[in-house]
Amino acid sequence: MRFSVSSRTIAIILSLLVAAVLTTLAWLGPTLPFEQGVLAAGITVAACFLLLYLMFEALIFREINNIYEGLEHIKRKEFRRMSSKFLFRPEPLKRMRDEILDMAQRKQQEIDELKRLQALRREFLADVSHELKTPIFAAQGFVHTILDDDDVDEFTRKKFLQKAATSLDALDALVQDLVTISQLEKGVVRMRRQSFELPQLVLDIFEQLELKAARRSVTLELSLPPALVPEQVRVLADRNRIRQVLINLIDNAIKYGRENGHVRVSLQESGKGIRISVQDDGEGIPKQHQNRIFERFYRIDKSRTRESRDAGGSGLGLAISKHIVEAHRSTIRVRSEIGQGTTLEFKLPRPRRAPEETV
């Protein structure tokens, strides 16, 4: 059982011990009468108490409180002079111990976080170098084949140049995505919020991705509750950036959904906003991967990596979408079960009604 003893208690105990020794010696002394022995004991107790108490408070405890003040400065990152109320408080050793342990725990958490970020940085650099080498080597191969072989006919030359151009276009898209996500992470990209019709934007994206969906026989569907009129489903957001998010989500749903399946975009009222859900009927995402799919270049399996590269994906679409949605003060949530498909959803605010529109 742990208990604490104050400086005053320690001083009293030591004073009594010293006084008891001195009084015993005086009592046993042949030349000291009884009355003088009692008086000597009292004087000894008082003197020892004052000396020891002042020693503990003025020397030891005051220095410890000075150390504690320094810890307070470090913790609060303040350099103003501390108030005198921090001096002569009870149990300074225990307070200092608890404070040091707390600071040590926080520092260890910071170290662990730095180690995690360092591992992510190494993984990111390895992924970037791999993703950059693929289109570069492909373009180099096609160009050098044309340069090294003088007997290449015009048709083959044009075909190889087209493939090299495709590889360079993929490289350009990857670099642009890297620049975009870097700017989003730094917060230098401003969201230009405006009021626009969300259903019309979804239909425009369906038209843009129609050929890609047709290759996998995927049906694109827009779902609205009966009470909602499409023209009245308006949100306040950056239209171009939300378009980019929806293209990424719908494109992923087409690629990873089931062939001859459905991709459904649902718009529902949610408080003062509109909740957007993109649902596919693919194989689903395992639980251990669901919190990491928004990381840059994160790979669930190699087959998805090859499929994504063949389809022209940079591996940054979901990471960019996450930053754009968070810049709108919202969050992308993932719901997925193995064999039951995946749903990605986020929420956007509705515009406030203008005074002339209020009834």
pLDDT in tens, 95-126: 666 677 777 778 888 888 888 778 767 766 77
Mean pLDDT computed over every residue of the chain: 76
**Does 137 share its domain with 252?**
no
Residue 302, Cβ neighbours under 10 Å: how many?
8
Q: How far apart are CA 222 and CA 301, in angstroms?
A: 30
**Does 143 share its domain with 29?**
no
Contact 254, 216 (CB under 8 A): yes
pLDDT of residue 293: 82
**Does 128 share its domain with 202?**
no
How many helices (H) and strands (E) would you count in the chain? Answer: 11, 7
pLDDT of residue 207: 92
Q: How many domains does the chain have?
A: 3
Segments forming the whole domain that contains residue 167: 124-184
**Does 224 share its domain with 291?**
yes
Q: Is residue 2 part of a domain?
A: no
Strand partners, 336: 342
Q: Is residue 261 part of a domain?
A: yes
Residues in the chain: 359
Q: Is residue 291 part of a domain?
A: yes
Please report the DSSP string for 26-60 in residue order: HHH-TT--HHHHHHHHHHHHHHHHHHHHHIIIIII
Task: With a cut of 80, say whether residue 338 has pLDDT above it.
Answer: yes
Contact 75, 104 (CB under 8 A): no
Domain ends where: 155, 184, 213?
184
Q: Is residue 90 part of a domain?
A: no
**Does 178 share its domain with 199?**
no
**Does 180 share its domain with 199?**
no
**Does 208 share its domain with 165?**
no
Domain ends where: 69, 94, 109?
69
**Does 217 share its domain with 329?**
yes
Query: pLDDT grade, residue 313 (50/70/90)?
Result: low
**Does 212 share its domain with 245?**
yes
Q: Is residue 139 part of a domain?
A: yes
**Does 207 share its domain with 325?**
yes
**Mean pLDDT of the region 156-174:** 83
CB within 8 A of 325, min separation 6: which ones? Answer: 245, 331, 332, 346
Q: Is residue 307 part of a domain?
A: yes
- Full-model pTM: 0.59
**Mean pLDDT of the region 216-244:** 86
pLDDT of residue 106: 82
**Mean pLDDT of the region 31-41:** 69
Q: Is residue 115 part of a domain?
A: no
**Structure-derived torsion over alpha carbons of residues 111, 116, 117, 121, reported in degrees to the nearest 10:** 140
**Mean pLDDT of the region 124-146:** 78
pLDDT in tens, 185-226: 777 778 888 999 999 999 999 999 999 899 999 999 998 888
Q: Which residue has the tokens 């992923």?
A: 252
CATH number at residue 325: 3.30.565.10
**Does 210 share its domain with 272?**
yes
Q: Is residue 270 part of a domain?
A: yes
**Does 228 share its domain with 341?**
yes
